[in-house]
Chain A
C-alpha cells in the first residue's frame, strides 16, 4: 500500500545519462557529484527529475566551514532538493594528515554525539531544506565506543530533529558481521525518523573475506528486507537504488529500480 506514496529512484550516473533521460518508472535521482560543466544531458535530467542532494559536504565531527556551507546551499538550490543528505562519518584526521577516502563511522561516544549534534544543528540553521543523515556500517568494533550505534543515532535525531536516511545494505552487513538476524538488528534503529531508504546489492570481497557494499543489483533477500523495513518506516518518502559507479550498466540500474518498485 505504501508504494503509491513512495518515490522510487536511483543515483545519477553521468555515463548512463542518455538512458536516464529516456527511462520510465524512475521518480528521482540522487546526486553524488555536481553535474560536469559540459554534461549534454544535464538540462533534460534537471527538468525531468526530482533531484536529491547526496554529495560529500563535510564530516560533522567538526563544524563545516563557510566554503562548505556555501557549496551545500548552492547545490541544494541548483537541484531544488527536498532534503539534504550527509553521513554519520569521520574519515579524516582533525589535522587533515590522514584520510581514508571512504565512509567510516565515528566512535559512538558522548563526546562525538555532542560534536555531531552541535555541528548538525549549525548546518541545519544555514540550510533552507531539512537535513537527513545516513548510517554507515562498521566492519570492526572500536573498543572506545560507549553506546550501541542505534542508541547513539536515536539520541542524535532527538537532539537535532534531522531525518534518517536508512541504508539497508549497511544494516544488513552489520547484522551479518555481528551474526544476528537483519530484522532484529533493524528493529533497534529509530525507524520512525526515516525519510529515505537506500537499497543495493552486496558482493563478496577478497580483502574482507566476506560480503560488502557494491554497485550491484539487490538480491531477493535484500528486497524482502526492504519491504519489511518500509512497512516499519511510517514517514518514508523515497527508496533509492544506491549504486554510483562507472562500472554500473543501464540494465542493472533500470531492472533494479523496477524490482524495487515491484517489491514495495
Chain B
C-alpha cells in the first residue's frame, strides 16, 4: 500500500461512516478510533450545514415569514450519522429531505403559494450537486474525444423539474431586502438542473426540445434514432446535445 493509498483510506474513513465501522478499516489500525469518529462527525455537520445554507438560501430568506430555518434541522441530523457518506447522492437526498420536512408544514400557504415549488427546487439542487467529481482535467479529454462516437445518455442526477410557478423570476428578489413577500406568478414551466463533471450546478429553462432529448437520451439510441423520436433536425439535435453536454446533463456513453 503506497502512502497515497493510505491517505485515501483515511479520507474515506472520515467521509464514509459505513466504511469507518467496517473490519476493513478497523483492521488497518491507523488512527485512534475515538478521535477519528469525533472528527468525522464534525466534518459531516460542517459539510451539510454549508450545503443547507447554500442550497436552501431562498427558504432561509423566507424564514421570518415561515418561522422555519432549513439549516435548523441539523440537530435532527444525528440519526443519519451512522449512514452518512459525504458527498454521496443518497446522503444529500436524506439531508435535503430533513430540511424539506422541517420547512414544508410552515403555516404560510396564503402568503407563499409557491413554497412547495421552492422546496422541490432547492432539494433538487442539493441532490444534483452530490456525487463524485472530476478534480483534474485528464478525464475530460476522454469525454470530449468520445462525443462523436457514442450514443448520448442522461447523466445521473440530471433533473427536469415541473413547476407551477415562475420561480426563476422570484428567486433573486428573495435575496434582496423586502417587506412584502415577493410573489411568483402562476405559470407552468420546466427547469433543467445539471451538474458539470467539476461539480458546477447549472439551472436552465427547458423548452420542449431540450426536455425530450434529456428524456430520450438513454445511452442506447443513436443520433439518427434520437432525431427521429424528437422530431429535431440533425443540426439542431447536435447543437442541443452539445449544449447539454457542456452543462453536464448528458454524456456520450462509452459502452464500458
Contact = CB atoms under 8 A, between A and B. Distances in A.
Q: Which of B2, B8, B136, B138: most chain A Cβ within 10 A?
A: B136
Nearest to A99: B87
Given A98-B15, A100-B86, A246-B53, A143 B30 contact: yes
Given A61-B4, A98-B11, A140 B31 contact: yes
A157 B53 CA distance: 38
B235 interface: no
B41 interface: yes
B98 interface: no
B29 interface: yes
B7 interface: yes
A99 B15 contact: yes
Interface stretch (A87-95, A163-171, A253-261): A87-95
A114 to B, nearest CB: 10
A4 to B, nearest CB: 39
Contacts of B3: 107, 109, 111-112, 144
A262 interface: no
A98 B87 contact: yes
Given A109-B3, A144-B6, A207 B47 contact: no
A70 to B, nearest CB: 10
Interface string A152-179: 0000000000000000000000000000
A140 B39 contact: yes
A140 B40 CA distance: 11
A65 B133 CA distance: 15
A142 B31 contact: yes
B15 A207 contact: no
A92 B7 contact: no
A192 interface: no
A258 B134 CA distance: 42
Contacts of A102: 43, 46-47
A208 B43 contact: no
How many interface residues does chain B have, given as a range? 35 or more
Contacts of A90: 7, 11
B137 interface: yes
A109 B10 CA distance: 14
A140 B27 CA distance: 18
B38 interface: yes
A207 B7 contact: no
Contacts of B4: 61, 94, 111-112, 115
B14 A104 contact: yes
Interface residues of A, number: 38
B32 interface: yes
B35 interface: yes
A106 interface: yes
B11 A92 contact: yes
B43 A111 contact: no
Contact of B86 (A99, A144, A207): A99
B191 interface: no
Contact of A111 (B2, B15, B32, B134): B2
B86, B132, B135, most chain A CB atoms within 10 A: B135
Interface in B13-54: 14-16, 29-32, 35-36, 38-39, 41-43, 45-47, 50, 53
A66 B141 CA distance: 12
Contact of B11 (A66, A104, A115): A104
A22 interface: no
A101 B36 contact: no
A212 interface: yes
Interface string A201-219: 0000101110010000000
B12 interface: yes
Contact of B41 (A65, A94, A104, A207): A207
Interface in B86-132: 86-87, 132
Given A93-B11, A99-B133, 9 more contacts: A65-B136, A67-B137, A97-B12, A98-B15, A101-B87, A111-B3, A111-B4, A141-B31, A209-B38
Interface of B: 2-4, 6-8, 10-12, 14-16, 29-32, 35-36, 38-39, 41-43, 45-47, 50, 53, 86-87, 132-138
